[in-house]
């Protein structure tokens, strides 16, 4: 989304929505893990996440039984991802 939002503000909204869904700040819809965004970006209206459970990716992974080592790697990946978000905001 971030590569596209320079030309269309809906992609900027989706960029931040994806981050908020990842962190459990906004609801995650059913079938979110499939090709969800491919369909949403093709629609004329801007998608709004209102229904569904607010649950972070981290919690979903804990519930799935991911190992401590995988969580160490996830923590590092999230730190790097958040650093990229800050770079995109500056750019």
Bridge partners for 11 per DSSP: none
pTM, two decimals, is: 0.70
Answer yes or no: are the C-beta atoms of 83 and 19 closer than 8 Å. no
Dist. CA 91–CA 85, nearest whole Å: 10
Higher-confidence position of 43 and 70: 70
Dist. CA 10–CA 12, nearest whole Å: 5
Could you state, in order of their start, the residue ranges of all structural domains in the chain? 9-90
Give pLDDT, residue 49. Answer: 67
* 72: pLDDT strictly greater than 70: yes
């Amino acid at each position: 989304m971030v590569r596209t939002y320079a030309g269309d503000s809906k992609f900027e909204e989706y960029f931040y929505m994806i981050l908020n869904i990842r962190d459990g700040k906004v609801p995650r819809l059913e079938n979110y893990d499939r090709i969800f965004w491919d369909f949403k970006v093709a629609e004329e209206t801007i998608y709004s996440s209102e229904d569904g459970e607010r649950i972070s990716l981290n919690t979903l992974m804990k519930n799935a039984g991911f190992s401590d080592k995988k969580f160490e790697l996830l923590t590092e990946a999230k730190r790097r991802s958040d650093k990229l978000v800050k770079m995109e905001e500056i750019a």
